Amino acid sequence: MRKYLAELYLARRTGLGVDTIAARLREAVEEISAAGTHVVFLQSIYVPDDETWFGLFEAESTDAVEEAARRAGLSCERIAPAACLPDAGPVTSGGRYEGRNDG
């Protein structure tokens, strides 16, 4: 399955919080999955200064992500295929990555 990144403008004045968005998406994804379409809501990131929310999905198509957003009552600005890189771990105060053996 491919990963997709959805972008949503989230104006502060709407009063719609990131917890509400996540709850709506989880419910929509469950409905779609029960109907046989593969879509998983993996993670989200909110950038308050930009009033922008990003959601990461694993799905069989862009259409599956669009349908999840629609059922959640959300209008995404953009949905695009995404590539996720392996997590290198947090950087320590010495500048080295934890969990990584540099020899």
CATH number at residue 16: 3.30.70.3090
Residue 97 has pLDDT above 70, yes or no: no
Is 9 within the bounds of a domain? Answer: yes
Residue 100 has pLDDT above 70, yes or no: no
Is 96 within the bounds of a domain? Answer: no
Task: Please tell me the distance from the alpha carbon of residue 6 to that of residue 55, in angstroms, as a whole number.
Answer: 5
The pLDDT tens digits of the residues spanning 30-70 come to: 999 999 999 999 999 989 889 899 999 999 999 999 999 99
Is 78 within the bounds of a domain? Answer: yes
29 is in which domain, residue-wise?
2-82
Is 94 within the bounds of a domain? Answer: no
What's the structural domain count of the chain? 1
Is 25 within the bounds of a domain? Answer: yes
Is the C-alpha dihedral spanning 51, 53, 54, 60 positive or negative?
A: negative
Q: Output the pTM of the full model.
A: 0.78
